[in-house]
Amino acid sequence: MDPMAHKEADGDVSRRRFFTSTAAASAGLALTPSLAEAVTHQGTPPAPDGFVDVTITFNGRRVLSCLTLAAAVNGKKVTTVEGLEHDGELHPVQEAFIECDGFQCGFCTSGQIMSAVALLREGRARTDDEVREAMSGNICRRGAYANIVDAVQQAHACGKAI
Amino acid sequence: MHAYDFATASDIRQATSSSGAFLAGGTTLVDLMKLGALRPDHVIDINSLPLRGIRTGRDGVHIGALERMSDLAIDRIIIGHYPVFAQALSVSASPQIRNMASIGGNLLQSTRCGYFRDVTTACNKRQPGSGCPTRTGDNREHAILGTSTSCVAMHASDAAVALMALDASVRLVGRDDERSVRLAEFYRLPGGSPDVENQLRPGELIAELILPKLDWARTSTYVKVRDRQSYEFALCSAAVALDVRGSRIRDARVAAGSPPSRPL
């Protein structure tokens, strides 16, 4: 059943009733599977080993889609990694990750890139240690951290708008 | 996840008249709903309520309960006047979680005890009377102060420890009344009913946090000991504020976290 199908207005408190299939129950109504259903490209994937990197941008800030109910973002702006490219051109952070080989299996990469974009916009790439601290919410099971830091610094130095 | 009703509250009276779980940042509620440890029939999104803002009054600083941790951590007033609080916020969780989490929700976050979070195990907090596996099981990160034979769950909030040292209060709003409670009295020790963690009544929510005026709170700091350098809960922590004049400490506030089952 389409989880957004049933909406009632009850005075000033709008109510929606949600039903989930058993298969979707574990991820339930968190944002990730709802977006995965909505977008054509699976840019924010669930990982087979259970680890999900789900950093997205919500109202201009980086957040975790796995802890965000789809219903709670109704009418708000959400950006996933697919939203970074512009007219077919990769975002400078995406280019830097490719050039610096900032990934191995790729499962954390969407979130690493989204976090990197955010921290550069926040002005938090003054040192490598600052980058590591600002990226501490993005874990890489394959240990690509050193190249990820290089990618962030390369994007920081490239002179292009982030 | 089980089926539930989702509603968005547009004013405080409707929120406090509803029954169900309040949703602010969602970093505790959605986490535990996905695990099945919390199964509310109704979820009420309170993010539109007018519970934001940082205001300095004669009695101290008033902070709306929906203010996000990341905003508070970089607020000049908090950094300048209550650095222990700013530090505690900045070593909490991760940047993403700090962007999502409200300070009110942070104070109410659930324990990180693995048995509470795992619905296949006994847990007196989640299911009163079912037992507590920590006695013979995993208990390395659990509380050692303020515990009972029913529960040794630790309270994970860094901010609460700092706020305890600052003798902060919370303003609680219910359907028919409101009241202020000192944080030191807000949290309950587990005793024989570890499922009752604080003084909130049904339908009540935290509207505001109040940091009392305390000039020497500027001389304060937060120390967090943990297994990892970042993005990790505390094994133990301390918030300290000192009234130093010349070479003498005239007064001190010390609060400890994680070994106690609630900040002490």
Chunked in runs of 10, what are the mean pLDDT values of chain A (162 residues)? 32 34 34 43 44 66 89 83 91 97 94 95 94 95 96 96 91
| Structure confidence at residue B176 (pLDDT) | 92
For residues B228 and B252, what is the distance between their CA atoms, to the nearest angstrom? 29
Q: What is the pLDDT of residues B151-180, one digit of tens each?
A: 998 889 999 999 999 999 999 999 999 999
Nearest CA among B174, B81, B196, B60 for reference residue B128: B196
pTM score of the predicted model: 0.87
CA angle A89, A135, A64 (to 5 degrees): 80
Q: Does A129 touch chain B (CB under 8 A)?
A: no
Secondary structure string (H, E, C) spanning B3-33: CEEEEECCCHHHHHHCCCEEECCCCCHHHHH
For residues B15 and A13, what is the distance between their CA atoms, to the nearest angstrom? 9
**Cβ contact B197:B187 at 8 Å:** yes
Q: What is the pLDDT of residues B231-262, one digit of tens each?
A: 999 989 999 999 999 999 999 999 998 777 77
Q: Tell me how crowded residue B69 is: count the other CB atoms within 10 A of its CB.
A: 25
**Cβ contact B164:B140 at 8 Å:** no
**Cβ contact B78:B72 at 8 Å:** yes
**Token code pair at residue A139:** 């874990």
Q: What is the DSSP string of A101-118?
A: T--SS-TTHHHHHHHHHH
Of A12, A17, A64, the CB nearest to B96: A64
Q: What is the pLDDT of residues A64-81, one digit of tens each?
A: 988 998 888 877 888 889
For residues B258 and A87, what is the distance between their CA atoms, to the nearest angstrom? 50
| Structure confidence at residue A54 (pLDDT) | 65
Nearest CA among A81, A130, A93, A138 for reference residue A112: A138
For residues B42 and B4, what is the distance between their CA atoms, to the nearest angstrom? 6
Q: What residues contact residue A76 under an 8 Å CB cut-off, 6+ apart?
A: A58, A59
**Token code pair at residue B12:** 């405080």
Mean pLDDT of chain B: 94
Of A15, A16, A67, the CB nearest to B30: A67
Q: Does B231 touch chain A (CB under 8 A)?
A: yes
Q: What residues contact residue A26 under an 8 Å CB cut-off, 6+ apart?
A: B1, B34
- Contact list in B for residue A136 (CB cut-off 8 A) is 94-95, 229-231
Q: Does A113 touch chain B (CB under 8 A)?
A: no
**Mind telling me how many Å the CA of B80 is from chain A's nearest CA?**
21
**Mind telling me how many Å the CA of B192 is from chain A's nearest CA?**
32
Q: Looking at this predicted complex, what is its ipTM? A: 0.90
In order along its 264 residues, chain B shows pLDDT tens digits of: 788 999 999 999 999 999 899 999 999 999 999 999 999 999 999 999 999 999 999 999 999 999 999 999 999 999 999 999 999 999 999 999 999 999 999 999 999 899 999 999 999 999 999 999 998 998 888 998 888 999 998 889 999 999 999 999 999 999 999 999 999 999 999 898 999 999 999 999 999 999 999 999 999 999 999 999 899 999 899 999 999 999 999 999 999 987 777 777
